[in-house]
A and B are shown apart, each in its own frame.
Chain A
Amino acid sequence: MEIDVELINVTKKFGDFTAVDDISFAVKKNEFFSLLGPSGCGKTTTLRMIMGFEVPTKGEIRIGGENVSYVPPFKRPCNLIFQNLALFPHLNVYENIAFGLKIMKVPKAEIDKRVKEILQTVELPGFEKRRIKELSGGQKQRIAIARALVTQPTVLLLDEPLGPLDLKLREEMVIELKRIQREVGTTFIYVTHDQGEAITMSNRIAVMHNGKILQIGEPFEMYEHPDSEFVADFIGRSNLIQGKYNEGVVEVNDLGSVVVDGSRINNDCYASVCIKPEKIVIGEKLSGLDNVLDTVVKEVYYQGSITTYKVLLENNRVITVITPNIRVEKLFNRGDKVKIGWNKENAIVIEREA
C-alpha cells in the first residue's frame, strides 16, 4: 500500500506547553483519514504541521516519501480547507478557484476548462461570475473544496470545515464530501471533533487526546472495540461502569457483579465495563441475558425513530439506553421501575488505572 503522508515521532511544543506529544501515523493513498478529538487535543496543530504553517519541534513529516518538515507551505503538495474557508472576498468564484492555477502558470484555456470541470464536481456549474458575498454557507463550502482540489494536490486537509453549517446542511455536506473524495480519488485528512462526521466519512480514524494518539483504526473497529475509556466514551458515548475484574466478573461497589467477556483482560485488575446505549435492552421483565439490573427511569426523550432513556442504577449511576421504536405501544415514564440488560458479548471490558 502506497503511503501519502507519514508522521514519525512528531512533537510540537509552544514554550512549555506540549501541543503534540510524540505521535506517529501513516495515511495511505486515496484514504479518507480523520483526526478526531476534543478541542485542544492537538489535532489542529498536527494539521498545521502537515500544511507547513508550523514546524515540528521534534520528528519528521513525510509527504509522498519526501521529508517536508522544513519545506514552506507554498511548496508542499497539499491543500487545506480552512475552518473559516478563507475564500478571497475581492475575487469572484472563477478567480478564487483559478488562484492556484494562475500561480502555477497554467495556460488560460486550461484554467477555464479545469474550473468548469471542478464546478461540475462540486455541483455548482455556471457559478464562475458570482461574488463570494452572494453565496450561501453550503455553496461557499463547495467553492472552497473546488479551489483546493483544482490544483490536484497529493493530499487535501480539512480543518472542521462543516462547523459553521446548520445540522441539515452538515449532514448533506458529509455525504457530499465522501462522494467528492471517491470521485477525485485524492487523499483526505479530516480534522474534526464530531465523531458522527468522522465515523460516516472516514476509512480510518485516529483519536487524539492531550496531544497523543490513543487509537487508530477503522470506524467499525473504533466503535466496537475501543481500547481506552476515552475512546469508548468519545466515539458513540458509552456507558462506563467501573469495578474490579476477576475470572470473568467485574465486581462493582454497591451494585454487585457484572458478567463480562474476559478474554482480552488479565485477572485481578481495575476495569471499566463499557456498553453502548443501543446494545442495552430495557423492559419490565427480561430473561435470557447475562446481566439484568434493576433501575428507575429518570428521563425519557422520545426522538421519533428512537427513544433515549436515562435510568438510575441502584448505586445511583446514570445509564443511557437507546431503543429503536419498532412497534411501540407505550413508552416508560419517569419514575417507572424497569429492568435493563445485556449479553456479555455486547459489552467491552477495558483495563484502567486504579
Chain B
Amino acid sequence: MLKRLNELNFVIGLFFTIVSLVLIADDIFNKEKSGDLKLYTGLSFLIFGLLMIIIKTNRSSEK
C-alpha cells in the first residue's frame, strides 16, 4: 500500500476519494440550499478517485 504512494494516479485517486467523502458527509449533515449538487459531485469524485486507485500503472515506466 505504502509503495503505491510512488504512483501518481494512486495519489490523485486517494485525494479525490478523501474529498468525495468530505462532500458526501457534508451533504448528509448539512442539506441547506444545495439540492443534490454536492451529493452528485461527491459521488462523481468518489468514482473517479476509486478508478484512479484501481488503475495499475506499469511500475517499470514510473522508474
Are A and B interaction partners? no
Chain B residues with CB under 8 Å of chain A are: none
Chain A residues with CB under 8 Å of chain B are: none
